[in-house]
Structure 1
């Protein structure tokens, strides 16, 4: 995690609440953030299932930034050494973690004030004009649209390169705890992914694609449902590469709440708060180690530096925009 350097104070930011049958979501323009998400459990009791702060000012006052509920950009996850090359031109952007660039740099999209451009009772759209923030080339128009429908939250993130070729990879950074337990380790997880991207000690991609078969000695295979603690006893901070079906299913035995993620993105980063450990107080109380899990649908991490992966992460003026679609559906199972 990195030190927080917010661009603006969100002290007077207005909250916007969307509601549909079986779901209520609250957003703020600071980071185009999902501040609160409430759904009913198996007993019909409404529960807060995302991490956020009750006091909006707390987002700017964090000593360490966890990106609660924010849109991440211009480029999610880590860029090794903060450099990349496009059309023979090498660009260096702000490094903010162990010599790498994490989640857009020191002042990423999470620490920017977005503009509300459309609002109904079930949908909200934010926009942000990125004029070369953190050293990234060119200007990008970013759009974040959230919609609620029966038991479902849909996030559509778009990025338009307006005047120069540039890498774009946006994601949402919501942390979830679906249960009544203080950690997610007893929850059951299924991920349609038989590969992860190999990383070094700083969690930057090495270029290795790791297959999760038993012969490789990996415990991260969630292609069949398993308790988190069984396959990830030390927690998760991994980029899973989806197989044909780009989906994830997560169930809490304590509340019966089940969340399904479906996305158009080829991968998902899962982070189960191994480094959080009682450092901050959220709407769910003191955050313990493994007290929540971030679910971040995105592209292959640092794909901009690995052309051998054939992941097109460079967008150009006049070309189709970057688009990340993620659907989070909620229902319950018997408990």
Structure 2
């Protein structure tokens, strides 16, 4: 199956190295979350994919061939900044953009009607974009990326400014696109959403990709961990061996890190003997915790 591949992208602006050998791929039908702090290089990488910027080194390929004008016409792009004509009516604008991609008037109109309906802005087709709320502008912006039936989706902060209902609608739209075989790459600061939605995640820091993989692989720990929720005496100390670590965390719970399940069961037995146990569940770091650690830790997480 075809993949969008970024291979060794390098880009500098004067003395600032915005991208430093960034490499990853997004397969057909895959949702890829591209995350990093502001200024880390996400938008620069996306603009190179689109041809808005050229790289100093490296290449972008689709299905093994360099991405050129023909492929770029089949990409749906959503910039972080509003890229619509503010005084143009929603319906007219979407038809116009679809026509630029080669659709007939009839096909463009049908696509406009479909996506404005799906994204909940059908009743705003006759309104100028500048008259819409920021959330509805964001919905129209996504419609503009979808209206020509793209083969690849590149979305920069598509969930910014959306209420929970709109986030749910947009999430379903992106899942639907992936299900029809479209590779979807999007950036977002909403890490819980990225963790829930994406097949794989890439974390970029200061122009370098420092972690890349599935959420499960990235958040796996060398030693198993459990969360113990219990009502225990304030001075409770479990009878644990030197390889097991138990420390209190927020909300009346303890984090248990043990070499194996048998050692963890020893801690659980001690808790049951000392008080009331409400829950004892396996625990993994969240993507948010991983992101925080990667941003602070100079060592890299293997891709």
Structure-1-length-normalised TM-score: 0.22
Greater helix fraction, Structure 1 or Structure 2: 2
Of structures 1 and 2, the larger Rg is shown by: 2
Greater strand fraction, Structure 1 or Structure 2: 1
Structure-2-length-normalised TM-score: 0.24
